[in-house]
Amino acid sequence: MRKIKAIKTFTDRYPLIGPGIWILSIQYFIVQIIAARAFRTTYSLRFNTISDLGNSICGNYSGRYVCSPKHNLMNASLILLGITMASGSLLIYQEFKRDRATLIGFSFMAVAGLGTMMVGLFPENTISLLHTFGASLPFFLGNVGLVILSVSLTIPILLRYYTFLTGIIALLALVFFYTGHYLSLGIGGMERIVAYPQTLWLIVFAVYISSNHIMKSSTSAKP
């Protein structure tokens, strides 16, 4: 209980820390561009998975030739993303009504962060079982968490719809991804529909919260 109160006191004093941590998720997209440009062969958004950028060896993997010189940078990016997802969820949760649904939604996102860390710690060519399990946490729990948060949070209606659609579209894409129905998008394209919207939501939602705090701060500072 004391730890919970301490966290609440911290977020009340430093309200921009939580959303600021989530905004750091943008590094995930930047690092992918850097790693993809360093790929020894042409990196395809359609036919290469995100995890190919973190593959630590050069050679054929699941029918694809993979060689990513920046794999350490990519895996570090995934670990950092997982840390920001989990820690940001803990802090931002304190700003909202702490009912069961909100707790579950943010908890799912925090666990999704732990899974993302596993993806970075266990590249696809190492312990594939742990890599796959880690990826399933943000792919499934993280997006289910978004659907829950879209219903439980007191937020503007457009942001509520955006949050709901982000989770639903990603979950539908997850079904296609795991059943091998990539349509015309390829395995990489379908995976990105599962993964990217969630990370983009973290940034958008964090900007929304930050803007609210800045507006409140400027309003209270007026004489």
Which of 16, 143, 161, 200 minimizes the C-alpha distance to 92?
A: 16
User: Which of these, 197, 211, 203, lies nearest to 156 by C-alpha position?
Assistant: 211
What pLDDT, on the 0 to 100 scale, is given for residue 62? 86
pLDDT of residue 13: 76
- Note the pLDDT tens digit of each residue in 131-172: 999 999 999 999 999 999 999 999 999 999 999 999 999 999
Specify the pLDDT at position 79: 98
Residue ranges in the chain whose pLDDT is less than 70: 1-4, 12, 217-223
Q: Which pLDDT value is given to residue 99? A: 86
- Count helices and strands (H / E) in the chain: 9, 2
Give the pLDDT confidence score for residue 50 in this predicted structure: 97
128 touches 107 (CB < 8 A): no
What's the CA angle centered on 198, arms 197 and 200, to 5 degrees? 65
Q: Is the dihedral of CA 125, 128, 130, 135 positive or negative?
A: positive
- Maximum distance among all Cα pairs of the chain, rounded to whole angstroms: 67
* Domain map (residue ranges) of the chain: 2-218
Q: What is the pLDDT of residue 44?
A: 95
